[in-house]
Structure 1
Amino acid sequence: MIFLILSILSSTAIFVLFKLFNKYNINTLQAIVFNYITAFTCGILLYNKPINIDSFISETWFFAALGLGFLFISIFNVMALTAQKNGLSVASVASKMSVIIPIVFGIIVYNESIGFQKVIGIILALLAVYLTSIKPKSNVVLTKAIYLPIILFLGSGIIDTSVNHFAPDGNMPLFLAIIFGSAFLIGLVLIILKTKQTKQKFNPKSIPFGIALGLVNYSSMYFLLKALRVDGFESSTIFTINNVAIVAVSCLTGLLLFKEIISSKNWIGVGLALISIILVTL
C-alpha cells in the first residue's frame, strides 16, 4: 500500500507543478521536454544491471516502450488541445474516466474478481471523478471538436493498460527510461520545429521546473508499477483507488494551496471517492 500512496502523492505533485507553470509563466512544452530527459535519467540510474542493447532490443517490451513514448507526448498535446477547444473540465474528465479501460482489461484478460460490491465501488469511483473534475463556471463545450476528448479518453486508457501489461518485472526502470527517452526525442523535434516557426525564445526557468516535473513524473509511474506488482492486489483495484484518490487529493490540494473554489458537487465527489476506495479495497 505504501507504493500506491507514494504514486498518489507523486501524481498530486504533478498537478501542483502545472499550477506553478501558470504562475511563473513557464513554457509548458520546454518544461515537458526537460521533464522527459530527467525521467529518462532516473530510469537509467535506477537500473542496476549492465545495459546491453543486444540483449533486450528483440524483446516485445522494448518496442512497446518506444511506442508508448510516442503516445505519452501525443496524448499530452491532445490534452492541451482538448482543454483549449472543449474546456479544462472536459479534458480532466476524459483523461481520468479512462481508468475504466485498464479496469475492464484486468477483469477480462487477467480474470480478476468482479463482485457486486466491487462493481458499485467502481461506479461510485467514476461518478466521483466526474463530480470532482467539474469546476464552477467551467467552459464546457462538448459539441465542439468532440473527437478530441474521445481520443484523450482512449489514449489515456491505452497508456495505463499498456504500461502495466508490458512492463517487465526485472527491467522496470529501464522500461520506463526507454518510454521517457523516446518521448524526449520526439518532444525535442517538436521544440525545434516550433522554435523555427514562431521564433519562440528559450526560457531558462523551464529547466528547474522541468527537472522537478521529471522527478515526480517518474516516481508516479514507478511506484504505480510497484503497487501493481504487490501480491494480493488486483490491477482493477489498484487503478480504481489510484485514479480516484489522485482526483480527490488534487482537489483538496487546490483548495489548501491555491485557494481554488470547490463547489458542492466537488465535495460530493470527494465523499464518493472515499466511499469507493473503501468498497473496492474491502
Structure 2
Amino acid sequence: MIYLLLSIASSCVIFVVFKLFARFKVNTLQAIVFNYLTASTLGVLLYEGPFTTSSIPQQDWFSSAVALGFLFILIFNLMAITTQRSGLSVVSVATKMSVVIPILFGIFYYKESLGVLKASGIIIALIAVYLASVTSKEGIPFKKTNLIFPALVFLGSGIIDTSIKYIEEKYLSEGDLPIFLTTVFGTAGIVGLLIIGSQLLRKRFTFKVKNILAGICLGIPNYGSMYFLVKALRNDAFDSSTIFTINNVGIVMISTLIGITLFTEKLHLKNWIGIALAVISIILVSLS
C-alpha cells in the first residue's frame, strides 16, 4: 500500500508543478522534454547492476519501452491540441476516464475477481472522476470534428497504463525496472529534442534556463509516479484493477483539494459530489 500512496503523492506533485508553469510562464514543451531527460537520468542513477548501453537493446522489453516512449510524447502533443480546440476540462476528463481501459484489461485478460463491491466501486469511481474533473464552460465552441482528439487522448492514456501492467507482468524482473523506465523516458526525451531541433531550424525556438529547471522539478516526481505505480502493481495483495482504480481516483481527489487550498480554485457542486463519490469508491474497492 505504501508504494500506491507514494505513486499518488508523486502524481499530485506533478499537478502542482504544472500549475506553477503558467505562473512562471514556463515553455511547456521544453520543460516536458527536460522532464523526460531528468527522469531517464534518475533511472540510470537508481539502477544497481552494471550499466552498458549496448546491452539495453538486447532486453526482451526494449521494443516495448521504445514504443511507450514514442506514445508518451505523442499523447502529450495530443493533449496540447485538445486543450486548444476543446478546453482543459475535456483533456482532464479524457485522461482520467481512460482508467477504464486497464481496469477492464485486468478483469478480462488476467481474470481478476469482480464482486458486487468492486463493480460498484469502479462504476462510482468513473462517475467521481468525471464530476471532479469537469469544470465550467471555457468559451470554446463545440465542433464534432474536434472529438477525435479527446478520443485519441482517452485511448492513448489507457493503452499506456495497460501496457505498463502487461510489460511488468511478462518481461520485467525486479532489478530491470529503473533501466526500463530510463529507456521509456529517454526515448520520449530524444523525440522531444528532435521536435525542439525542428523549431530551432524554423527559428521558433526561444531558450530560457527556467525551462530546464522546470523540467527537472517535473522529472523527479514523474519518474516517482511511474516507479511506485509499477512497484504497487507487483503487490499480490491487490488486483491491478483495484490498484488502477484507487490510484486514479486518489490523484483526482487529492489534486482537486490541492487546487482549492494552494491555488484558490473554485469548485462547483458537481465537483464536491465527485470528491465525495471518490472517497466512497476507494472504500468499496479496498473492502472488496
Which bin holds the TM-score, normalised by the shorter protein?
over 0.9
Deviations, residues 128-182 of structure 1 (Å, cap 9, x unaligned): 0000011133346363411001100110000011112113132011110000000
Paired residues, what number? 282
Q: Is the 8 A contact 1:75 1:155 kept in 2?
A: yes
* Pairwise CA distance, 1:200: 2.4
Q: Map 1:4-23 to 2 at 5 A.
A: 4-23=4-23
Q: Are the equivalent residues in 2 in contact too, given 1:33–1:187 (CA < 8 A)?
A: yes
Alpha-carbon distance, 1:52 to partner: 4.2
Structure 1 residue 33, shift from structure 2 partner? 0.9
Aligned-residue Cα RMSD (Å) equals 1.3
The one-letter code matched in structure 2 to 1:169 is S
Query: Which deviations, in whole Å up to 9, do the C-alpha atoms of 1:169-211 show, x marking residues without a partner?
Result: 3201111000000001000000111222243210110111100
Give the aligned partner of residue 261 of structure 2.
256
Work out whether residues 85 and 146 of structure 2, in 8 Å CA contact, stay in contact via their aligned partners in 1. Answer: yes
Partner of 1:119: 119
Question: What residue number does 1:229 align with?
Answer: 234
Unpaired stretches in structure 1, ≥5 consecutive residues: none
Structure 2: distance between partners of 1:192 and 1:68: 21
Contact persistence 2:196–2:205 (CA under 8 A):
no
- Report the CA distance between 1:127 and its aligned residue: 0.4
Query: Match for residue 79 of structure 2?
Result: 79
Measured after TM superposition, the shift of residue 7 of structure 1 is 0.6
Letter in 1 for 2:161: D
Q: What letter matches 2:186 in structure 1?
A: G
Conserved? CA contact 1:38–1:215, under 8 Å: yes
TM value normalised by structure 2: 0.95
Residue of 172, 176, 179 corresponding to 2:181: 176
Aligned to 1:274: 279
Partner in structure 2 of residue 165 of structure 1: 166
Q: In the alignment, what sits opposite 2:91?
A: 91
The answer to whether the 8 Å contact 1:89/1:139 transfers is no
Stretch of structure 1 that moved more, 103-112 or 48-57? 48-57
* Structure 1 residue runs of 4 or more that deviate by more than 3 Å after TM superposition: 52-56, 137-142
2:52 is aligned with 1:47: no
Which one of 197, 200, 211 corresponds to residue 192 of structure 1?
197
Asked whether the equivalents of residues 65 and 178 of structure 1 are also in contact (C-alpha less than 8 Å), the reply is: yes
Q: Which amino acid aligns with 2:31?
A: A
For structure 2, the residue ranges without an aligned partner over 5 or more in a row are: none
Q: Which residue number in structure 2 is paired with residue 241 of structure 1?
A: 246
Structure 2 match to 1:147: 148
Give the distance between the partners of 2:183 and 2:88, measured in 1 at CA.
Answer: 30
Tell me which amino acid in the other structure corresponds to 2:131.
L
User: Is 1:3–1:223's contact at 8 Å kept on the other side of the alignment?
Assistant: yes
Displacement of 1:58 in angstroms is 3.3
Residue identity matched to 2:44? I
Superposition deviation, residue 55 in structure 1: 4.7
CA distance in structure 2 between the partners assigned to 1:142 and 1:265 by the alignment: 24
| Alpha-carbon separation, structure 2, partners of 1:272 and 1:131 | 9
